[in-house]
């Protein structure tokens, strides 16, 4: 399926659930509501035309106004790829786990929970992961995170 055909297919079959985003400009990006995530993920994986069976990556983002979780999906059968984005509030970020769809999501979600403080519901193992066991300084990947020895570099030329 070409990129345009894929876009039309996804936009047609997931109307109201997946909203196209233009932030990616080159790849296909869709926004999905946190409540629909697992259902949409399951159907993206099982649809014979799409077969998004391969989870490349999950990345958390802190835009200072909100949190985002980005799911990069690929198909080993049809070789195409899309990205999904879930937007969460900055006060109480929360998202469902997609482990039951792609078991490989486990570690990515665990990392997101630890570094961003995004609560992952129905995750089987939210425990310390990359940071030291005795870590008590919050979620370091957040933009408002601060530590005495963390110095922000000025813009070049300033």
Partner 1 sequence: MTGLRTEEFVVNMGPQHPSTHGVCRLMLTMSGEKVIKIEPVIGYLHRAIEKICENRTYNQCIPMMDRFEYVTSMSSNMVFALAAEKLAELEVPERAEYLRVIMLELNRIASHLIFYGVTAMDLGALTPFLYGLREREMIVDLFEMTCGQRLTYNYIRVGGVSKDIPKEFVPKCRETVKTIREKLLDYEGLLNENPIWLVRNKKVGVLPTDLAIAYGVSGPVARASGIDFDLRRDDPYSIYDRFDWDVPVRHNCDCYDRYLLRLDEIKQSLNIIDQALDGLPEGPVQAPKFKPMSFKPPAGEVYSRIENSRGEMGCYLVSDGTTKPVRVKLRGGSYSQLQALPHFGTGGMIADLVAIFASLDIILPEVDR
- The residue ranges that bind partner 1 (CB under 8 A) are 23-27, 29, 53-57, 59-63, 70, 72, 74, 76, 79, 81, 83, 102-104, 106-107, 128-132, 140-141, 152-153, 155-157
CB of 86 to partner 1, least distance (A): 14
Q: Which is nearer to partner 1, 16 or 61 (CB)?
A: 61
Q: Which is nearer to partner 1, 15 or 134 (CB)?
A: 134
CA distances from 86 to 1, 41, 118, 157 (A): 25, 12, 12, 36
CB of 56 to partner 1, least distance (A): 6
Q: Which is nearer to partner 1, 59 or 87 (CB)?
A: 59
Q: 62 exposed, middle or buried (CB, 10 Å; 0-12, 13-18, 19+)?
A: buried
> How many residues are present in the chain?
158
Q: Are the beta carbons of 109 and 125 closer than 8 angstroms? A: no
CB of 144 to partner 1, least distance (A): 13
Q: Which is nearer to partner 1, 57 or 89 (CB)?
A: 57
CB of 33 to partner 1, least distance (A): 19
Q: 42 exposed, middle or buried (CB, 10 Å; 0-12, 13-18, 19+)?
A: middle
CB of 119 to partner 1, least distance (A): 19
Q: Are the beta carbons of 138 and 80 closer than 8 angstroms? A: no
Q: Mention every residue, 6+ apart, whose C-beta is less than 8 A from residue 60.
A: 67, 68, 69, 70, 112, 115, 116, 118, 141
């Amino acid at each position: 399926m070409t990129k345009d055909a894929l876009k039309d297919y996804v936009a047609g079959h997931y109307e109201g659930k997946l909203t196209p985003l233009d932030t990616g400009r080159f790849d296909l990006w869709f926004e999905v509501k946190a409540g629909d995530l697992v259902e949409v993920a399951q159907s993206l994986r099982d649809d014979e035309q799409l077969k998004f069976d391969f989870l490349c990556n999950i990345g958390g983002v802190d835009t200072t106004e909100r949190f985002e979780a980005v799911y990069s999906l690929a198909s080993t059968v049809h070789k195409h790829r899309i990205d999904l984005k879930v937007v969460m509030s900055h006060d109480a970020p929360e998202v469902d786990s997609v482990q039951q769809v792609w078991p490989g999501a486990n570690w990515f979600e665990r990392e997101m929970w630890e570094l961003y403080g995004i609560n992952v519901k129905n995750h089987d193992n939210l425990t310390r992961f990359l940071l030291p066991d005795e870590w008590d300084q919050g979620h370091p990947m957040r933009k408002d995170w601060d530590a005495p020895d963390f110095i922000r570099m000025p813009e070049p030329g300033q």
